[in-house]
A and B are shown apart, each in its own frame.
Chain A
């Protein structure tokens, strides 16, 4: 029964969620919204578990004096400081402290992480654009054409290169993307079917 009951729930919920896509009736819409509300409720409980998991993992690292344990202290300090700054007697989420922590610590740090992407793109491009084989050479040439499209110093060559770059993006590139998207669509339906029919039960921890 430990396996059958969850499988039955998955079957009913899965068939309903698939069918509701084709049924615009208000009963169907109501049940769909109801199911989404349940997802939110489960998410809230799971968030409590998740925060507890984070605190426990960090605390144990500190207690064991594991490698790099000071990072765990910083993580816990960050968590509790933000919670404290957002409490009602501090002014809630609109409090001076909370807004300043958010705007002048969180946002700049996140922007910095995002900015690293520029450097990583450069290093990844260096590896990808080495002409080691015929396919790699084709990739290199295609990438050069697409990048040159935005070069303002090409003079009379600018227009034909822009046309070639547009052709690469709109035909071979788009065709490949659509082929991948179709495969993904089929894969999604196949996986959903396997889960609904109980053929795939790995998500329950069982093969």
Chain B
């Protein structure tokens, strides 16, 4: 009986112990028997195509990276100014990473200061789950140096040189022989008609640059168009309204319109208030311009420049007011809005060509010819690129790769 009781008690205690163990299984940390294997073949080299202040460190992953008890979770990169140290931690790369770009600033007082033209030494440490580390051999010395030429941008440089040569050649040719044919653009052909309509109706013309600043090429192209439009406006004695979003663009536009009136022999007709600043708030600008459209009912609206979400708000209001509308922008996303809401739209590059069309000067026409030939070269390269990809000639595709 006594033995039976002891046996039962032992069984109960054992069952309870097993049950508790199942409810709370012990979470034993994976014991790291030893530090992980260190990364190997560490190489440090100056980062290319930069103003210095940067070194690229490469290595081969630790043998314990991705498997085993000592699974590596990250790599720490250290830098020192002597092979024997001291070394300072510069950053961390995740497991499986084989490269780290060590960058810094040029300010000597900045904690992240990175000296140029100074011998530097690097080592990389593999870190496992338990936090144990294994450091690689020291790599170096290496110096961060600044470069005078960005090799990664060579394809762009060659393209610019070729295109510049084309442009200069065709301008020179156009000067000698002024009968270059360029296809007509409906939007440009309509400018005279639009100005004439405004004159007949006795209503003003509205010219909007959009939200571009003076450093946007689209705005510069628009200013040159405004110059020619303003000259015609002065000749036809029509009123011109130019509400501006950017203060610098406003001052340029004022000077442009004023000079156009002088050139047209009508300085007396120039009104200083015709070109004015509204606001630098996008939708407040839209509200002001839309208000002007609905109150003044301009006969013609020009929207030429850089436009964003306001493009459709402006163009639809102009359509409601019954104005003839000529638009043009290099913002690809806004072109469909202008196409549906305006009578004429200059699509992309046509905005840049408009000035040459309006001026009809041979040297300006020459640049259009250069663009056409450059487009032909791009098409040939694109077709050749497709063929090269099909045949697996990756070297051809690599010729056009721009890095950094």
Contact = CB atoms under 8 A, between A and B. Distances in A.
A125 to B, nearest CB: 7
A25 B160 CA distance: 20
B148 A124 contact: no
Interface stretch (A38-46, A85-93, A155-163): A38-46
A207 interface: yes
A125 B312 CA distance: 11
B50 interface: yes
Contacts of B113: none
A177 B332 CA distance: 7
Given A124-B341, A180-B347, A50 B277 contact: yes
Given A50-B247, A120-B313, A183-B349, A207 B153 contact: no
Nearest to A121: B312
A47 interface: yes
B163 interface: yes
A170 interface: no
A54 B276 contact: yes
Interface string A27-53: 011000000000100110011011101
Main secondary structure of the interface of A (DSSP, over half): helix
Interface in B324-360: 330, 332, 335, 337, 339-341, 347-353, 355, 359
Main secondary structure of the interface of B (DSSP, over half): helix
Contacts of B194: none
A172 interface: no
B251 A203 contact: no
A56 B273 CA distance: 8
Contacts of B315: 124
Interface in A7-31: 18, 21-26, 28-29
Interface string B45-78: 0000111100000000000000000000000000
Contacts of A67: 295
Contacts of A114: 283, 309
B247 A124 contact: no
Nearest to A58: B276
A124 B150 CA distance: 46
B224 A127 contact: no
Interface of A: 18, 21-26, 28-29, 39, 42-43, 46-47, 49-51, 53-54, 56-57, 60, 67-68, 71, 106, 109-110, 113-114, 116-117, 120-121, 123-125, 127-128, 177, 180-184, 186-195, 199-200, 202-207
**Which 6 pairs of residues, A with B, have the shortest CB-CB distance?**
A205-B259, A202-B224, A187-B352, A50-B277, A187-B349, A50-B247
16 contacts: A18-B160, A21-B150, A21-B153, A26-B51, A43-B248, A50-B250, A50-B251, A106-B284, A113-B283, A187-B350, A188-B352, A190-B163, A200-B224, A202-B224, A203-B227, A204-B256
